[in-house]
Chains A and B, each alone.
Chain A
Amino acid sequence: MFGSIPIISIIILLPLIGAIATFCLGRYEKYAKWVALSFSLAALVLSVLVAVDFMVEPDGSATGYHEGNGFFDFQYYEEYSWIQSLGIRYIVGLDGIGLPLFLLTTLLTTLSILFSWDTKHRPKAYFGLMLILEVGVLGVFSTLDYFVFYIFWEVVLIPMYFLIGVWGGPRKDYAAIKFFIYTHIASLAMLIAIMAMYFQSGINSFGMEDIWRAGLSEFGRTFQIVAFAATFFGFGVKLPMVPFHTWLPDAHVEAPTAGSVLLAGLLLKMGGYGIIRVSMPTLPEGADAMQLVMAVIAVASILYGAMVCLAQRDLKKMVAYSSISHMGFVLLGFATFTQLGIVAGVFQMFAHGLVTAVLFMMCGVVQHHAGTRMIPSLGGLSKKMPNAATMMTIGFLASLGLPGLVSFAAEFMVFASVYQTWGLWLLVPMIAVAVTAGYYLWALQRSMFGPLTENIDTSHVHDINWFEGVPVGTLIALIAIFGVFPLVVFKYIDPAVRIVQVLFAGGG
């Protein structure tokens, strides 16, 4: 469809142009949302076209097809030399792992912008920063050069830092600086590992494919273990994994709703993406040595995250902790080193992106309409906001893994793969299924059901607004569609991770 059009670069550039345009609006700041929405919508439409055009089993005729011996098989591949002396190139391309996340990025950004429709405080900066954030995340999910990857990775931090720090809640300064320093330290660990791989590979290239190819012969076992540990820490903090997760609840509690949506929906996925794109394929022996560590951390995140959720009194903080629990499934799937588990992990990232966006949006709705998110102050709100209550119920049910909604397929396959690798240890992470149902339904009971609360003034509480309802409704529709037809997404992911599994079956 796209011939020689550099479609990926165009999609990445669109929000950047949009951001500049938004910043330059001057006194016409009330149009900022329209500008931002148009550019993000354009990127969304183009990325949907890319997804439609993408050939699941490329026969060589796919647009910009780049074959890398089964492993680095990318489409829409673009390559430009940048700093030749250091071997830094601008390379972008998509495969079945990057594509769902790429699509998720354009989708969630567009919906978040719509959701923030009534932002009155410095709208130019707000919407501009969201577009910058989109640029960074899109870059991360499509770049195939470590140096550029790192730049995009860091680009993501800055707008998020400001989104929390300027539009955040009462403790925004603390949360923003904590978020920044914590994830920055993790980035440094990742950078060290990237540099180490660059020098160890002995070739003058930051290209992911080049380093992977060189690494097959050049990376010794000890090197792999050390480098894997460093990248794993770097990506794992982002995921986030227990015990390096405490930046997340603080950041979420203080972040504005749209910021939380992007933080949980996209930024966390960068961690999972890094593990499956960088750590595991490039450093398979390291991964093999660390398999048990990965698994233990994953199970700890799942169970511990779920237990802490149960104790939360703040609706949003509970949802934030649930992200820790659910992203643990991603790591657990990866750690099985099975085809089933890795596909499930990637799918879980996609699924969690959709579901958690609904949850944070609904927390935002409760906050805006009822004035508080504290569960003990709420109660019986479904009387005042029946549509919001329905949407929240669907979101919670999706998040607890109800079949027919999107997370179930991922959870089921993660469990199936865990059994393949570790046998009946399967039953340990499965406890979380009941705990998850427990905290969600209990929260629902206390906030939405029962008699209408008298702790807060509910006389002005009204149902969900259109600009809140449309994004949530869209996401719920997608959650149901992909829940009933998960194959639509699996067929992208499955061929892409096939080689990862081969790598472990052969080398591990």
Chain B
Amino acid sequence: MDVLQYAWLIPVFPFIAFILIALIPKRTLGWEDGWGYAIAGAGGALVLSSLVIWEVLNGHTLTEDAPRTTWLIIGDYEVTFGIWIDQLAALMLLIVSIVGTLVVVYSGGYMHAEGETRRRYYAEIMLFISVMYGLVIADNYLQMFIFWELVGLCSYLLIGFWYQKPSAASAAKRAFIVTRVGDIMFMAGIILLFKYVGNLDFAVLFDINSGTPGAPTVPSDILILSTALIFGGAIGKSAQFPLHEWLPDAMEGPTTVSALIHAATMVKAGVYLTARTYPLLVQTPESLLFVAVIGGVTALIAASCALAANDIKRVLAYSTISQLGYMILGLGAGGYLVYHLQDPNGYTAATFHMMNHAFFKALLFLCAGSVIHAVGTNDMRLMGGLRKHMKITSTTMLIGALAIAGVPPLSGFWSKDEVLAAVYHAGDLDPIFLLLWVLGIVTAFMTAFYMFRMWFMTFAGEARSTYHAHESPKIMTIPLIILAGLAITSGFALLAGDGFKAFMELPIEEYVIPGHESTFDIAVEIFTDPLTYVSLVLAVVGILLAYRMYYVPGFDRSIFARGAAGTMQRALENRLYISKFYDDFAYKVWYGFSIVCDAFDRRVIDGAVNGFSYLGANTGGVIRKAQSGNVQRYASLIIVGIVILLALLLFVVPWGGW
């Protein structure tokens, strides 16, 4: 039995769980209001995903020969639905299945106090995971787009889970609309390709301009535009500058939802899309440059916003944006390397970072959830000293912080270093990448600083408010321990077996390089490269600075209230005013314009209509009588109509002969 043929069943498991939880009457739902079904749904998908991943690890993929079903045929256009399992899809399946399942397990403890609303929670979580799987295994852009939008919908529902809170309802709406701006670009991008190719299958599209007989051709300017537009979808979904501000607000949902969104589902979809589009992207260096610049700028802006945030989830949210910026930067620079040197290192580095980030970010969010669960607030200024009460949480969170800061041998070190190395190498081709590399290095320093600022503010020192902190139940700490293990070890995938790089083959035949480097060479290369030590030193300096400022007592932080530093601090606390800009634009400019449109509609357009009828009513008394309100007005109108009709007939007869 070929497991890959049945990969389409992966999203079906959680979907069935979704249907069951949504439809089974409340009283018979049983265990924790649907938690049992959710575990079964996520677990079933995890098992099948593991089998699929195992097959892919053994070198099997299922791409062009996958079974398909027709969704629509119009004239010469056809859209079919199928599955596409390659290394990239397998990697994403790994991320979604592990993180998804652990989040569901953890929810059993975290959402325990929510009562009956848990039913809606588990139903929506199951739908969320299901459509994310659907997105991952899609074999064409339209199918991907459909699930892409549904992922957005589930984020909307879950961010707004506590919809009675105005801020939650507002944040949910914001997330949906902002990502929809990206979705418009995505849709436009695939429509461009649709015209030239006639369908949207990856199997056909990835052949574009390859020169093989029967391969579709697309003019290069159209290809550039369409890849840039498709990447526009990733800008929205993966919260890249300038559409990134929805993500920090998205923490209005339960923390488990944030963990899912940040680590496995929503925002990873954008990176996944960009990686998925690689066979097209590597033909368009212009788009790649755009991708890289967006990624680099995002990484720096988001990291700087995280420096001054006081909400523990907001720090993590900005750090996600920043790390996503790394991945996007890596993909952009990596594409440049592929285009010029047939060197896939950037691509492997970025996807590697995607995996590592999934584990340590899920860990960090679930730890934050554990803290919030214990303390009852998100504000780090009210925390402190939790290390004594929450040993497991504080230790696992420390592991997560070390991983994201890039301290060897934890996972973040390996992948971040690989990404920065790829960007630096791309600097040989275009000096702008050297600038982006500097942004990346500065970001690495900031990351180490704000993560440890967060850790010290939360766990170290003395409690700054009164609370009865306690360690979370096992159902929550066990997922933390598993994720901490992964955060430590997942980086070694680079060196295990044939190594991650050999596994993550580019999906393009002509770019596959015969004879990979051995994993030993990779390790040697990393530790002999001076750049490695640059980023390492910066990370350590960042940690020490945080230690000095937030752990050692007596540091005078009032310098941040005055002068240039004060201005900077306020700008960062106000999220660089980007959020405010959007609010003003939406509520003042755009809504104001709509008010003008409405007034125009009533006064001018409808006014003209009423004026016209007033004119008619005053010149012809008949119609005015018709408006007197009695039933006969209809009869009189009919008569008027017939008279006009006859007149027109007499007029039309001679006209008809002309």
Contact of B191 with A426 in the complex, beta carbons under 8 Å:
yes
Interface centre among B169, B177, B192, B195 (most CB of A within 10 A): B169
| Interface-lining segment among A16-24, A108-116, A175-183, A366-374 | A175-183
For B616-658 the 0/1 string (1 means CB < 8 A from A) is: 0000000000110100011001000100110011001101110
- Is A494 in the interface zone, CB < 8 Å from B? yes
Contact of A404 with B146 in the complex, beta carbons under 8 Å:
yes
- Is B54 in the interface zone, CB < 8 Å from A? no
For window 287-332 of A, CB contacts with B under 8 Å fall at: 304, 307-312
- Is A277 in the interface zone, CB < 8 Å from B? no
On chain A, the residues within 8 Å of B613 by CB distance are 178, 181
On chain A, the residues within 8 Å of B176 by CB distance are 437, 441
On chain A, the residues within 8 Å of B149 by CB distance are 402-404, 408
Contact of B188 with A426 in the complex, beta carbons under 8 Å:
yes
Question: Known interface pairs A200-B656, A426-B191. Does A340 touch B74 (Cβ–Cβ under 8 Å)?
Answer: yes
A416 CA / B191 CA spacing, docked (Å): 5
Q: Using CB atoms, name the residue of chain A closest to B644.
A: A188
Contact of B163 with A310 in the complex, beta carbons under 8 Å:
no
| Interface-lining segment among B485-493, B534-542, B595-603 | B595-603
Q: Using CB atoms, name the residue of chain A closest to B143.
A: A403
On chain B, the residues within 8 Å of A309 by CB distance are 594
A308 to chain B, nearest CB (A): 5
B607 to chain A, nearest CB (A): 9
Question: Known interface pairs A195-B649, A434-B180, A487-B72. Does A246 touch B601 (Cβ–Cβ under 8 Å)?
Answer: yes
- Is B29 in the interface zone, CB < 8 Å from A? no
- Is B142 in the interface zone, CB < 8 Å from A? yes
Number of interface residues of B (CB under 8 A): 68
Q: Determine chain A's interface SS by DSSP, over half rule.
A: helix
B73 to chain A, nearest CB (A): 7
B141 to chain A, nearest CB (A): 11
- Is A382 in the interface zone, CB < 8 Å from B? yes
Question: Known interface pairs A413-B74, A430-B184. Does A246 touch B606 (Cβ–Cβ under 8 Å)?
Answer: yes
- Is A68 in the interface zone, CB < 8 Å from B? no
Question: Known interface pairs A412-B187, A415-B191, A416-B191. Does A308 touch B652 (Cβ–Cβ under 8 Å)?
Answer: no
- Is B34 in the interface zone, CB < 8 Å from A? no
For window 187-218 of A, CB contacts with B under 8 Å fall at: 188, 191-192, 195-196, 198-200
On chain B, the residues within 8 Å of A383 by CB distance are 164
On chain B, the residues within 8 Å of A413 by CB distance are 72, 74
- Is A280 in the interface zone, CB < 8 Å from B? no
| Interface-lining segment among A128-136, A252-260, A444-452, A466-474 | A444-452
Question: Known interface pairs A199-B657, A403-B146. Does A339 touch B74 (Cβ–Cβ under 8 Å)?
Answer: yes
A382 CA / B191 CA spacing, docked (Å): 38
Contact of A182 with B609 in the complex, beta carbons under 8 Å:
yes
Q: Which of B181, B597, B601, B656 contacts A195 (CB 8 A)?
A: B656
Contact of A490 with B609 in the complex, beta carbons under 8 Å:
no
Contact of B71 with A486 in the complex, beta carbons under 8 Å:
yes
Question: Known interface pairs A181-B613, A402-B150. Does A494 touch B164 (Cβ–Cβ under 8 Å)?
Answer: no
On chain A, the residues within 8 Å of B77 by CB distance are 340, 416
On chain A, the residues within 8 Å of B467 by CB distance are none
A490 CA / B153 CA spacing, docked (Å): 26
For window 104-157 of B, CB contacts with A under 8 Å fall at: 142, 145-147, 149-150, 153, 156
A188 CA / B643 CA spacing, docked (Å): 12
On chain A, the residues within 8 Å of B192 by CB distance are 419
Contact of A181 with B629 in the complex, beta carbons under 8 Å:
no
On chain B, the residues within 8 Å of A340 by CB distance are 74-75, 77
On chain A, the residues within 8 Å of B181 by CB distance are 434
For A385-421 the 0/1 string (1 means CB < 8 A from B) is: 0000000000001000011100011001101100110
On chain B, the residues within 8 Å of A490 by CB distance are 72-74
- Is A438 in the interface zone, CB < 8 Å from B? yes
- Is A501 in the interface zone, CB < 8 Å from B? yes
Contact of A434 with B184 in the complex, beta carbons under 8 Å:
yes
Q: Using CB atoms, name the residue of chain B closest to A443.
A: B173
A487 CA / B147 CA spacing, docked (Å): 18
Contact of B72 with A312 in the complex, beta carbons under 8 Å:
no
On chain B, the residues within 8 Å of A199 by CB distance are 652-653, 655-657
A403 CA / B170 CA spacing, docked (Å): 23
B577 to chain A, nearest CB (A): 22
On chain B, the residues within 8 Å of A486 by CB distance are 71-72
For window 311-367 of A, CB contacts with B under 8 Å fall at: 311-312, 339-340, 343-344
On chain A, the residues within 8 Å of B180 by CB distance are 433-434, 437
Contact of A441 with B173 in the complex, beta carbons under 8 Å:
yes
On chain B, the residues within 8 Å of A444 by CB distance are 173
For A472-508 the 0/1 string (1 means CB < 8 A from B) is: 0000000000000011001000100010010000000
Q: Using CB atoms, name the residue of chain A closest to B181.
A: A434
On chain B, the residues within 8 Å of A487 by CB distance are 70-73
Q: Which of B172, B591, B629, B652 contacts A310 (CB 8 A)?
A: B591
On chain B, the residues within 8 Å of A437 by CB distance are 176-177, 180
- Is B605 in the interface zone, CB < 8 Å from A? yes
Contact of B166 with A450 in the complex, beta carbons under 8 Å:
yes
- Is B593 in the interface zone, CB < 8 Å from A? yes
- Is B82 in the interface zone, CB < 8 Å from A? no
Contact of B74 with A191 in the complex, beta carbons under 8 Å:
no
Contact of A307 with B173 in the complex, beta carbons under 8 Å:
no
Contact of B173 with A380 in the complex, beta carbons under 8 Å:
no
Contact of A402 with B73 in the complex, beta carbons under 8 Å:
no
Contact of A438 with B146 in the complex, beta carbons under 8 Å:
no
On chain B, the residues within 8 Å of A196 by CB distance are 652, 655-656
On chain B, the residues within 8 Å of A434 by CB distance are 177, 180-181, 184
A205 to chain B, nearest CB (A): 14
On chain B, the residues within 8 Å of A420 by CB distance are 195
Question: Known interface pairs A181-B637, A246-B606, A412-B142. Does A192 touch B187 (Cβ–Cβ under 8 Å)?
Answer: no
A424 CA / B226 CA spacing, docked (Å): 11
Contact of B70 with A445 in the complex, beta carbons under 8 Å:
no
A62 to chain B, nearest CB (A): 21
- Is A153 in the interface zone, CB < 8 Å from B? no
On chain A, the residues within 8 Å of B597 by CB distance are 304, 307-308, 311
Instruction: Please provide the 10 A-B residue pairs with the shortest distance between their CB atoms, ordered closest to farther.
Output: A199-B656, A311-B598, A403-B146, A449-B169, A310-B594, A339-B75, A246-B606, A449-B163, A311-B594, A441-B173
List 5 extra interface pairs beyond A177-B627, A198-B656, A442-B173, CB under 8 A. A173-B627, A191-B648, A311-B595, A445-B173, A501-B75
Query: What are 22 A-B pairs at a CB distance below 8 A?
Result: A184-B641, A195-B649, A195-B652, A200-B656, A246-B605, A246-B606, A308-B598, A312-B598, A339-B74, A340-B75, A343-B74, A419-B192, A419-B194, A438-B590, A442-B173, A449-B164, A449-B169, A450-B163, A450-B169, A451-B164, A452-B164, A494-B75
